[in-house]
Amino acid sequence: MRLGDLVRIRFRRFIPHLRGGPPEWEEWWEEGAIVAAEYHTWEKIVSVLHKGEIIRKEANDVQLISRSRKGAKTEETID
């Protein structure tokens, strides 16, 4: 994943059992987030811009939807 790529994010919510049974997890995916900072595979954490705020998620909770066309400009490439 590169800076500016469009991604989807997995969210999880813990649901405790009312009578002492095993707890459950509710999972859902939301699309429309953008990779906000450079991602390195060895870090395993991705910073994404989602609904106006930057969220840091585990890499396995983020899926690539589409690449940015030319890649986002970084401070080094701005003229």
- Residue 73: per-residue pLDDT: 56
Domain ranges within the chain, ordered by starting residue: 6-66
How far is Cα 19 from Cα 6, in angstroms, rounded to an integer?
42
Say if residue 79's pLDDT is above 70. no
Read off φ and ψ for residue 37, nearest 5 degrees. -140, 155
Say if residue 74's pLDDT is above 70. no
User: If we measure between CA atoms, which residue out of 71, 6, 68, 72 comes closest to residue 34?
Assistant: 6
- pLDDT, one tens digit per residue, over 22-36 is 889 999 999 999 999
